[in-house]
Structure formats: structure tokens, C-alpha cells
Amino acid sequence: MTLTRRSLFAVAAGTAAAGIPLGQAFAQQPREIKLGYALAQNSHFGAAAQAWSDAVEKSPVNNFKFRHFPSSALGGEREMIEGLTLGTVEAVVVSNGVLSNFVPDAGVMDVPFLFRDTKHARAVLDGKFGEDLLAKFRARGLIALGWGEQGFRHLTNNKRPVAKPEDAKGLKIRVTENQVHIAAFRQLGIAPTPMAWPEVLGALQQGTIDGQENPVSVIVSAKLWQVQKHMTLTGHVYAPMALIVSPTLWASLNEAQKKAFTEGARVGGRASRQFVDDVEKKGVEEIKSHGVQVVGDVDKAAFRSALVPAYKQFAEKFGQKTMDDIAAVQ
């Protein structure tokens, strides 16, 4: 905040008239925290962001005012994360889509069919693996404070119903800028097209891609039924989200403030899970009601066996033990 001589006088005169010491008046100016995320404020991202900001703003360290930038207003997720490292953004809620480009170990979560179900995924992220992974962000210049959730990703497209791997062959599917997803889709004979989210709706409209993959929460929030005819409940990858702050913000906080941001991020993460639980209950019906043909009976075993060569590659990259440890979590 830059204060001109005139504004200093104005503050001094106003606070003196109100009997407030000048130092205290400046101390009371809340610091603005720019918080960016990809989807609308009434999405699971908005739920996490709102709960996080409310928790921090209402905490005893109430010196902060969050300003939300929903719907990719600060750019794609890669740009938002870069903004954190450059210090132009203070906080983000992002999907795991691009995370492994910054924190390579995060990529293991992108391995298809690694998580059995939501309960398993949450247990892994809330346990030692999740905490250790959050700590690894620091070495990469990012302060990740908690995990939220998007749900399991499903395939949508405009060409044909997909029930087994062969049906998906040749489809041009947008994927996030994520090497594990790209390798897995390529293995299935799909043509993966990495693209930042803000470009996806236009590309689907123009037909430069046939489809995309995202959880029910995203498909509903983005109303993808406007641009997609078919959906397959592949549930191929669990999609967490991460609540991250910039190293510059972090370095400026005292211990009590750090605690408020961390605890707030945990509250935000839980709010996104609650949102996802709700949207998963009725989301598929809503998608169907807009004319999308949904294939629920998916031959997941066939998808897994088609991916065997890619799994070998993932085991080399992340270590078979890490993948086994994750699988063993109850």
C-alpha cells in the first residue's frame, strides 16, 4: 500500500478525531490476500476458497482480507502457481493437474486406478503420505497447506459411447499438462492433447478436440453438457486439489498467522470434500437430464490391463514401493 502525504494527513486527522492512536489505525488496515482458482465461486473450488478465507479472516489474527479471483481470472493453473513463486499472487486453490510439473513426487497421485475409492484417497492424503508430500512443496518454493478434493475423473466426448478401451482409440482428448496422464492416455490409443483449462470450452465448441476428462464436480460447474454428448464413468484418476500460499506471504507471517492460514486451509479442504460428496449424489442425473448419454457400466479391469505397460513406466518413475504403500493404506 502506498500512502501519499495527503492520505497520511487524512488518516491522521480522522483517527485523532476518533481518539484512535495513529499506529493502531495503520495496524487495523487489513492486508489483501489475492486468492485465485479455476472455476466459479459456486463450485467446489469456491467452497474451499470461501471456507479458507472465512477461517483466516475470523481468526484472532484478523488482519487479512481475501480477494477472490475465481473462473481462471488470474490465468490457467500453471500461471497461477507461477504467480505464487513470482509473488504476484498470495494464495491459490489448484487441482493436481499441473502440480507434478512443480513437485515431481506429486505425480504418483495421477497414476490411473491407484486409489480404490474416495475413502481410500482421503485416508492417503490425510495420512503420512499426504503430510510428507505437502512438506516437499517447500523445497520447490511453494507453501502447500492442505488437500482438498475434486473427485474421480471421468471421460466425456462428442464422438461415441465408450465402454471399453477399444472404444476410446483414436479420440482426441484434452488432458491437463501432466506427463502421467499423457502417457496413460497414449497407452490406451487415445490422442492426448495437453491444454490449459481456460482454452478447453472453446476447443470443444470448435471441435479441435473430441473430449476431455474431469470429475462430476467440474462437469457440472462448467456445464459441459453444452459441448459434450457422451460421458463414461471411468473414474480413472482421483483428483485432489491443493491449497497453497506464496513463499513471500509465508515469510511475512508470524507463528500465530501461519497457524491461522494452515488451519484455515484444512477447513477449506474439508469444505471442498463436503461439496463433492453433495454434487456426486445428484450430478450424474443432472448431466443426463441435459441430454448427455452416460455409460455407467465400464469395463475397468479392461482399462487396467490395457495400461499394464504404462504401469511399468510409472513404477520406475515413482518407485513400486511408493505405489504399494499407497495401495496398502486402509
Mask of contacts with ligand PAF, 139-178, x by CB under 6 A?
Answer: -----------x-------------------------x--
Using DSSP, state whether 152 is helix, strand or coil.
Answer: strand
Determine which residue in the list 33, 35, 38, 306 makes contact with ligand PAF, applying CB under 6 A: 38
Residues in the chain: 330
Binding mask 265-304 for ligand PAF (x = CB under 6 A): ----------------------------------------
Helices (H), the chain: 5-17, 22-27, 44-58, 77-86, 118-126, 128-139, 165-168, 179-187, 200-206, 216-221, 247-252, 255-289, 300-306, 308-318, 320-328
Nearest residue to 98 via CA among 196, 174, 187, 192:
196
The residue sitting closest to ligand PAF, measured at its beta carbon, is: 95
Neighbours of 297 (CB within 10 A): 7
Dist. CA 177–CA 194, nearest whole Å: 5
Nearest to 181 by CA among 124, 228, 238: 238
- CA–CA separation, 330 vs 190, rounded Å? 33
The three cell numbers locating residue 36: 485465485
The answer to whether residue 197 forms part of the interface with ligand PAF (CB under 6 A) is yes
x/- site string to ligand PAF, residues 210 to 249, per CB under 6 A?
Answer: ----x---x--------------------x----------
Q: Nearest distance from residue 93's CB to ligand PAF, in Å?
A: 8
Residue with smaller CB distance to ligand PAF, 195 or 329: 195
Q: How far is the CB of 230 from ligand PAF (least distance, A)?
A: 18
- Stretch 53-82: interaction string toward ligand PAF, x if CB under 6 A: ------------------------x-----
Q: Which of 53, 95, 193, 234 is the binder for ligand PAF (CB under 6 A)?
A: 95
Q: Indicate the burial class of 181 (C-beta count within 10 angstroms; 0-12, 13-18, 19 or more).
A: buried
> Cell 497453497 sits at which residue?
244
Q: How many residues bind ligand PAF (CB under 6 A)?
A: 11
Binding to ligand PAF (CB under 6 A) within 7-36 occurs at: none
Where does this chain bind ligand PAF (CB under 6 A)? 38-39, 77, 95, 97, 150, 176, 197, 214, 218, 239
